[in-house]
């Protein structure tokens, strides 16, 4: 019989469809394993095509001066990079679309995805994330920063070359406010951080645990909204991603690389999104919010039921999915 589980962090009810549960090979799309070249002449992100991409904002280079990671302005940003936020309609809460949007090009190679990174490459990528995150929050127009990655056609990727994106908005998104309200309510009721409590339960039960390091833990939530949905939590409480120390960043790079490698192996290079959910540096000491990284393989689509109810149907069992990922061996 199916179970209906409540996700206390997101505020969502999820139907865990036990009798419809699928094994990993049922989710896999073999078309995702087709070989990709290391250079594509028409790709603006490949090394040698730098003049075709937008203005560069930041880079990391090797000892010979060749770039390893670049952050460039998004040519097709939904938000204007110049000007100041102006109220256009007070009654309808409308402002002009001013903000920041950059593309972080993760490698000069067209086919070098994170699952095949070295630990140093993943660490460098997280360092660039941190640099741009702090830079965006130093802009007084920015009220919230979102760091995310789309991988594969089902995740909304428009360019195949490995890249991430960072957006600074002049407003705080409604979903962020909703989750903050849930977390604050939980702390008022229990006196504890909901995220720390959730992590403690996962570490104790170990049923949905995938892996852990000294500073981080990776697990599939008890009421995961979709198949193989993974959360990576820092063990030390903080509301802001940029507060992680150098040792923690090293830990996170190792764990993120391992988890994405396991997903690549278990699900045959699935499309996925990952998002770093964080508040601003000045909110880092907020006691009821805990930053984390969410990885969402795009193995299912929302349909009429989800749109009509706001509930999710997860056709995988979190405990079995975690078991499969624990057993998966990342590619060499």
198 bridge partner residues: none
d(CA 232, CA 8): 16
d(CA 332, CA 329): 9
Q: How far is CA 65 from CA 60, 61, 62, in A?
A: 9, 5, 5
Q: Is residue 332 packed enough to be buried (19+ CB in 10 Å), middle (13-18) or exposed (0-12)?
A: exposed
Among candidates 299, 288, 244, which has minimal Cα distance to 28? Answer: 299
161 catalytic? Reply is no
d(CA 12, CA 188): 20
Assign residue 23 a region (left: φ > 0; alpha: ψ between -120 and 50; beta: otherwise).
Answer: beta
d(CA 9, CA 132): 27
d(CA 287, CA 291): 11
Q: What is the token pair recorded at 262? A: 């396991």
d(CA 5, CA 9): 12
Among candidates 100, 144, 141, which has minimal Cα distance to 283? Answer: 144
Q: Is residue 217 packed enough to be buried (19+ CB in 10 Å), middle (13-18) or exposed (0-12)?
A: buried
d(CA 323, CA 79): 42
Active-site pick, 117, 151, 161, 163: 163
Q: Which residues are catalytic?
A: 163
């Amino acid at each position: 019989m199916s179970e209906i589980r409540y996700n206390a962090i997101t505020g969502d009810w999820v139907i865990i469809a036990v009798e419809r549960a699928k094994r990993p090979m049922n989710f896999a799309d073999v078309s995702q394993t087709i070989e990709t070249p290391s250079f594509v002449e028409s790709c603006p992100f490949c090394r040698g095509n730098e003049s075709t991409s937008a203005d560069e904002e930041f880079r990391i280079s090797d000892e010979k001066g060749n770039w390893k990671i670049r952050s460039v302005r998004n040519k097709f940003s939904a938000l204007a990079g110049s000007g100041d936020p102006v109220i256009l309609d007070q009654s309808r809460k409308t402002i002009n679309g001013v903000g920041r949007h950059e593309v972080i090009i993760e490698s000069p190679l067209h086919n070098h995805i994170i699952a095949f990174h070295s630990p140093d490459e993943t660490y460098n990528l997280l360092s660039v994330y941190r640099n741009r995150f702090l830079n965006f929050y130093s802009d007084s127009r920015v009220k919230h920063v979102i760091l995310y990655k789309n991988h594969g056609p089902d995740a909304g990727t428009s360019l195949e070359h490995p890249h991430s994106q960072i957006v600074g908005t002049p407003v705080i998104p409604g979903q962020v406010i909703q989750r903050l309200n849930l977390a604050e309510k939980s702390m008022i009721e229990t006196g504890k951080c909901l995220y720390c409590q959730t992590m403690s339960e996962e570490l104790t039960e170990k049923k949905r645990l995938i892996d852990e390091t000294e500073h981080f833990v990776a697990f599939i939530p008890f009421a995961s909204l979709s198949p193989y949905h993974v959360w990576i939590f820092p063990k030390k409480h903080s509301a802001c991603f940029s507060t992680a120390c150098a040792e923690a960043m090293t830990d996170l790079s190792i764990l993120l690389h391992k988890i994405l490698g396991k997903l690549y192996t278990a699900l045959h290079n699935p499309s996925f999104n990952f998002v770093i959910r964080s508040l601003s540096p000045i909110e880092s000491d907020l006691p009821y919010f805990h930053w984390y990284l969410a990885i969402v393989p795009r193995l299912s689509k929302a349909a009429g039921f989800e749109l009509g109810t706001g509930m999710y149907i997860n056709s995988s069992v979190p405990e079995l999915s975690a078991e499969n990922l624990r057993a998966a061996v990342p590619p060499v």
